[in-house]
Chains A and B, each alone.
Chain A
Amino acid sequence: MATFHFDFVGPERTLYSGEVEAVQLPGTEGEMTVLPGHAPVLTSLKVGVITVTEKAGNGKRIYVQGGFADIGPKSVTVLAERAAPIEEVNPAMIDKEIEAAEMARDATQDPAKREAINSQIVQLREAKHTLSL
């Protein structure tokens, strides 16, 4: 099957780079699977899991906390500030994140900010659910 180039870069290092067959991304507008020859799209990502399929039946999962994906027909680049291979993430860590976010929410008075943090908490909960599957 055809492949395309997938780069996954964090601010401190490149986390993944290589030829892949498909990538599943948690876009803010919904999950999407990118195959070779995809139309150019720039999308933001929510908290979730990226599934990289190098070959059918041989995949890798990476946990991301928001970011961007620059999708083109021949390559896909994901920019994420915080990410980790799925093996290094456990539900307890996400619980901690949720707790921290809730505390940040309770500390601020700005309704817009509260709204933003609330939606983040929802995303974190969803991610935790995906993780436990």
Chain B
Amino acid sequence: MASLKDLRNRITSVKATQKITKAMQMVAAAKLRRAQNAAENGRPYAEKMAQVLGNLAGNLDGGVGAPKLLSGTGQDRVHLLVVATGDRGLCGAFNSSIVRLAREHVRKLEAEGKTVKIMTVGKKGLDILRRQYRDRIVESMDIRGTKPVDYEFASQIADKIVARFDAGEFDVATLFYSEFRSVISQIPTAQRLIPAELPATDGTTTTGAGSDAAMEFEPSEESILETLLPKNLTVQVYRALLENAASEQGARMSAMDSATRNAGEMIKKQTLIYNRTRQAMITKELIEIISGAEAL
């Protein structure tokens, strides 16, 4: 049986852990709010971009002569999976559920006889995937520390993807991230980046121009589309990173919340045992004193 001192030590250590998880939960809550704000601020740009692109692509007849970023290489042999995770752990199933989805895709694609290349964003994804798919990882990036994700970083990632695409290294790119629904629900999502998936539009813009009003393009439709597509890629990566940031904090918040609660329960149980043991000892000592006195 554990001595009183052992029990006391254990209770103190659980209490210390509880303080840490509580603090982490609060920090995550604050960061979550910031991440959600960032996601909200980035929305108008992304929406507008999707709209403009949808319009442009809708005007291109049959995709003839469309840039490769939009139409793809016409092949489906080599797949690039961009797996975006967090840099840190202690956030529930956040990292592992993204990786699990990516792994399922790898298995499926390889079963179909396709070549898979992996690019990881965030340390955790790399750590997990390295064990199994070391030879398939072509590139990995860290999300530098606690700094909130910015557009600059997203554009670096997008540039790397486009550069590899231009070099003919892959045919299809898919991005894996976790979509933020609520604090308790984050859904791992796969999104195709190349060939670009464009939202269906009804041919109207918010600028109030009806579909019958012909849009003019300066310089030309093709050249605008060509510059717009890499930007759209950046926007999608940026959005995924923002979603990921919010999801990570949300997952951490709920993970830390339950950790704090578990610690509380453990403290209660341990305290009970501690008190019982203490009383048992006092009783024992009393019995010893009394029986000693009786023997006299």
Contact = CB atoms under 8 A, between A and B. Distances in A.
Interface in A20-54: 27-29, 39-44
Nearest to A38: B207
Interface stretch (B1-9, B44-52, B180-188): B44-52
Contacts of B135: none
6 closest Cβ contacts across the A-B interface?
A: A72-B207, A40-B209, A43-B218, A74-B208, A13-B41, A11-B151
B205 A68 contact: no
Contacts of B208: 72-75
30 contacts: A7-B44, A9-B48, A10-B151, A11-B151, A11-B234, A11-B235, A12-B151, A27-B218, A28-B218, A39-B216, A40-B209, A40-B213, A40-B216, A41-B218, A42-B217, A43-B219, A44-B223, A44-B224, A44-B227, A68-B224, A72-B206, A72-B207, A72-B208, A73-B207, A73-B209, A74-B207, A74-B208, A75-B206, A77-B206, A79-B52
B33 to A, nearest CB: 16
Contacts of A11: 42, 45-46, 151, 154, 234-235, 238
A70 B207 CA distance: 7
Contacts of A41: 215-218
A12 B42 contact: yes
B52 A68 contact: yes
Interface residues of A, number: 27
B228 interface: yes
Given A41-B217, A41-B218, A44-B224, A71 B207 contact: yes
Contact of A42 (B42, B216, B231): B216
A81 interface: yes
A14 interface: yes
B237 to A, nearest CB: 11
Max chain B C-beta neighbours (<10 A), residue from A28, A41, A79: A79
Contacts of A7: 44, 48
B45 A44 contact: no
Interface in B206-256: 206-209, 213-219, 223-224, 227-228, 231, 234-235, 238
B56 interface: yes
A42 B151 contact: no
A70 B238 CA distance: 22
A124 interface: no
Contacts of B209: 40, 72-73
Given A40-B205, A72-B205, A75-B206, A12 B216 contact: no
B38 interface: yes
Given A7-B44, A10-B45, A14-B44, A76 B218 contact: no
A11 B213 CA distance: 28
Contact of A12 (B38, B214, B217, B227): B38
Nearest to B206: A75
Contact of B44 (A9, A29, A72): A9
